[in-house]
Amino acid sequence: MRQHLVPHALAGLALAAGLLATTAFTATAATITIATVNNSQMVEMQKLAPIWEKATGNKINWVVLEENVLRQRVTTDISTKSGQFDILTIGSYETPIWGKQHWLVALDDFPAAYDMNDVFPSVRQALTESGHLYAVPFYAESSFTFYRKDLFDKAGLTMPAQPKYSEIQGFADKFTDRAHQQYGICLRGKPGWGENMAYLDTLVNTYGGRWFDEKWNPQLNTKPWHDALSFYIDLMRKDGPPGANSNGFNENQALFATGHCAIWIDATSGAGLLYDKNQSQVADKVAFTAAPIARVPNGSHWFWAWAMAIPTTSKNVAVAKSFLQWSTSRDYIELVGKTDGWTVVPPGTRASTYENPDYLKAAPFAGFVKTAIMTADLNHPTAEKVPYTGIQYVAIPEFQAIGTTVGQMVAAALTGQMSVDEALKQAQASVTATMQQAGYTQ
C-alpha cells in the first residue's frame, strides 16, 4: 500500500496526509460520532483528528466523558441497540463480553498496511473473542512500582529489581514521616471494581488467591484473601496517607507528583506525567521497578487496554473502520511523537513503538512497561485454575457489580468500620447471592 512508500522521516503532517490518502478512497464522506474517555491520550487524539477529517472529508462528533459516565452511557446504548455512536472506547474487560453477544463489528479485515503483527500478541489476544478481533488497542498498560530514588539514596537503601511485599513493607515503614506529610506507601482505596479492586486483585493473586473456583463458587472466605486484605490494611493504616479510602489512581498520582509518597504501586500509564517537569515536582527523583510479589508470581501485575470498537448498530462502519485504522496505526503514534513529544504517545500497543530510539530516549520506563505488558497473562491470572480470564477483573458481565460491592467492603475494612473477617464474610455472601441470581451456581 501507499503508506509504505512514505519515509518515516517526513514531517508529521505530510506523513499523516500520505497515510490518509490510502484510507480516503475506501469510504464516502460521512459524520461519525465517537464516544471516548477524557484521558490525556484521547484528548490528544481529539486534537489531532482534524487532520484525518480534512484528508477524508468526514466529520467527527466527539462525546468525551469521564470513565464511569462513559461506561454507563455506551453500555446502555449498545445493550438497547440504540445506535447513538459509531465508535466506542471500551476496555479489555468489555471487549470479549460484548464480542460474544455480537454487539461489535469484527475487525479481522484490516489492510496489510495496518501491520496487525506489530501489535503485541498479548494485547490482541485480550481483545479477541472466539477467534475474532473485536476492538483495536489505543493504549495498553500494566502495573508496576514507582518509588522515590532520592529518598532511597539518602537512606542508603536500594530497591530490588523484583521486590517482595515484605520488603516493600519494610521500606514504607522507614519512609513514613507523618509530621511532614510524607507517606511510605500510596495505594488505591477508593471503592470500585476499576479502583481499589484492580489493585487488590493483583495482591490477592500473588497471595495465591482467586475469585472463583472452577465451578464458579466464590472464594472470598479463603486464607489468601484474608492474608492479602490484612496485609493491605495493616500497611495502609501504618504507612498510608490519610483519606486513603477516597484515593483512586488520580488522587494517588497527585500525591506522588507533589512529593507525598515514597512508594506507589499502580498503572504504568502514570509514568508519563510523573516524568513531566511541568506537572510533577518529583520528575527527576522518580524511579520504578516491577510490581511486588508475595507468595506466587501469577497475576502480580495487571493488564488493561483502552481500545476502540464499532457497534453493529453503526450506519457508518466503513468510515469508522477507516478512522480506527488511522488512530491506532504506527503512523499515528509517530504523528503524536512529532507534534507533542514522545513521552505522551499512546504506549503499550505496538512493538515498533518500543524499537523507536526517540521513544526509548524520552521514556526511560519504556522497557519495564513492555516487559510488564508482555508478561501479564490474562489467561492464567492465578496460581490455581480458574474458569475466567482477566487479572484485575473477571471477564463476566456481573463483575462490575461484584467488584464494586466487594470494593465497598474492603474500603469499610480499611477505615475500620468492619473487621477483615466481617468484610470478607459479607463480601462472600453478597457475591454468592449475585452468582446464584445470575445462574452460575445453584
Partner 1 sequence: MPPDGRSASRVRTFPLIAPSVGVLLVWMIVPLAMTLWFSFRRYNLLNPMLTGFAGLNNYRFLIRDPALPAILITTVVIVLAILLITISAGVVLAVVFNSGFPGQGIARVLMISPFFVMPTVSALIWKNLLMHPVNGLFAGVMRGLGFTAIDWFGSWPLSSIIIIVSWEWLPFAFLILLTALQSLDEEQLEAARLDGAGSLAVFFFIQVPHMARAISVLVMMETIFLLGIFAEIYVTTAGGPGIATTNLPFLIYQRALLAFNVGSASAAGVIAIILANVMAALLIRTIARRLDV
Partner 2 sequence: MNRFKTQLAGGIAWIIAILNFFPIFWMLLASFKSEVEAVQTPPLFFFHPTLANYRDIFALQDYAGYAFNSIAISVLATLLMLLVAVPAAFAMAFYPGRYTRDILLWMLSTKMLPAVGVLVPIYLLSRDLGLLDTRTALVIIDFLSNLPIAVWMLFTFFRETPKDIIEASRIDGAGVGQTILYVLLPLVAPGIASTALLSIILCWNEAFWSLNLTAHNAAPLTAFIASFSAPQGLFWARLSAASVLAIAPILVFGWISQRQLVRGLTFGAVK
Pick what 26 binds: partner 2, partner 1, none; C-beta below 5 to 8 Å, kind-dependent: none
Nearer to partner 2, 65 or 351 (CB): 65
Nearer to partner 1, 205 or 405 (CB): 405
Nearer to partner 2, 260 or 350 (CB): 260
Give the three cell numbers for residue 204. Answer: 490477592
Contacts of 369 (CB under 8 A, 6+ apart): 141, 142, 144, 268, 271, 347, 348, 363
Provide the H-helix boundaries in 240-290.
249-257, 271-274
CB of 76 to partner 2, least distance (A): 6
What is the C-alpha separation between 308 and 304, in angstroms, rounded? 13
Note the residues at the interface with partner 2 (CB under 8 A). Answer: 33, 35, 37-40, 43, 46-47, 61-69, 72-73, 76, 80, 82, 84-85, 181, 249-250, 253-254, 257-258, 260, 267, 269-270, 273, 278-281
Strand-pair category, 286-289 with 136-148? antiparallel
Nearer to partner 1, 253 or 325 (CB): 253
Nearer to partner 1, 110 or 440 (CB): 440
CB of 22 to partner 2, least distance (A): 28
What is the C-alpha separation between 373 and 122, in angstroms, rounded? 8
Pick what 191 binds: partner 1, partner 2, none; C-beta below 5 to 8 Å, kind-dependent: partner 1
Note the residues at the interface with partner 1 (CB under 8 A). Answer: 72, 75-76, 79-80, 97, 101, 181, 190-192, 241-246, 251, 254-255, 258, 260, 397-398, 400-401, 404-405, 407-409, 411-412, 414-415, 417-418, 423, 426, 429-430, 433-434, 437-439
Full DSSP string of 295-320: S--TTSS-EEEEEEE-BTT-S-HHHH
CB of 84 to partner 2, least distance (A): 5
Pick what 283 binds: partner 1, partner 2, none; C-beta below 5 to 8 Å, kind-dependent: none
Pick what 85 binds: partner 1, partner 2, none; C-beta below 5 to 8 Å, kind-dependent: partner 2
- Name the CA dihedral angle for 23, 29, 35, 40, rounded to a multiple of 10 degrees: 50
Nearer to partner 2, 269 or 316 (CB): 269
What is the C-alpha separation between 352 and 233, in angstroms, rounded? 41
| Buried-state track 423-440, b at ≥16 Cβ within 10 A, e below 16 | bbebbbebbbebbeeeeb
CB-based contact 82:312 (threshold 8 Å)? no
Residue type, 124: R
CB of 242 to partner 1, least distance (A): 4
Pick what 278 binds: partner 2, partner 1, none; C-beta below 5 to 8 Å, kind-dependent: partner 2
CB of 309 to partner 1, least distance (A): 15
Nearer to partner 2, 84 or 300 (CB): 84
Contacts of 320 (CB under 8 A, 6+ apart): 32, 86, 87, 105, 310, 314
